[in-house]
Amino acid sequence: MGDVIEFKPKPLNIKVTLEEVDPQLLLECAIVEMWHQLGGDTIEEESFLYHVWFLQFSDICFSSMETGAFSVDEDGIIGVDKLLLDGLTEAINEFKRKAATNDNTPDGSD
């Protein structure tokens, strides 16, 4: 039998452009851009839960920076490990499913 070779997934690169920006703000903007690119801002939910979900998402991104799975360079290029990207996408889709089933208004309107 041959050896099994594990291939590391290629990171997804997205460019965030801000001129003369503070490094912390650049990281925060990159996280907001990822949230937007993955459809997080289309979640229809009452404000409190929406913001809690975004905070959880951003915490995952910041934690992933420590392991190198999420990165932003000084030019604003976002690098995301494919496995992390898949996980973030699934998390947002789960948020959307939960938001769709959390309609507690009597007539289904806000």
DSSP E strand boundaries for 25-105: 70-72, 77-80
Is the residue at 5 inside a domain? no
Q: Does residue 4 fall inside a structural domain?
A: no
0.85 surpassed by pTM? no
Task: Answer yes or no: is 21 within a domain.
Answer: yes
Residues of the chain with pLDDT > 70, as a percent, come to 73
In terms of Cα–Cα distance, which of 79, 62, 61, 60 is closest to 71? 79
Q: Are 12 and 79 in contact (CB under 8 A)?
A: yes
End-to-end CA distance of the chain: 61
Residue at 37 is within a domain: yes
Instruction: Read off the pLDDT of residues 4-60 as tens digits, 9 standing for 90 and up.
Output: 445 555 555 556 555 666 778 888 888 998 899 898 888 877 788 888 889 999 999
Q: Which residues pair with 72 in a beta bridge?
A: 78
For the chain, what is the domain count?
A: 1
Could you list the residue range(s) of the whole structural domain that residue 31 is in?
Answer: 12-101
In a domain, 53, yes or no: yes
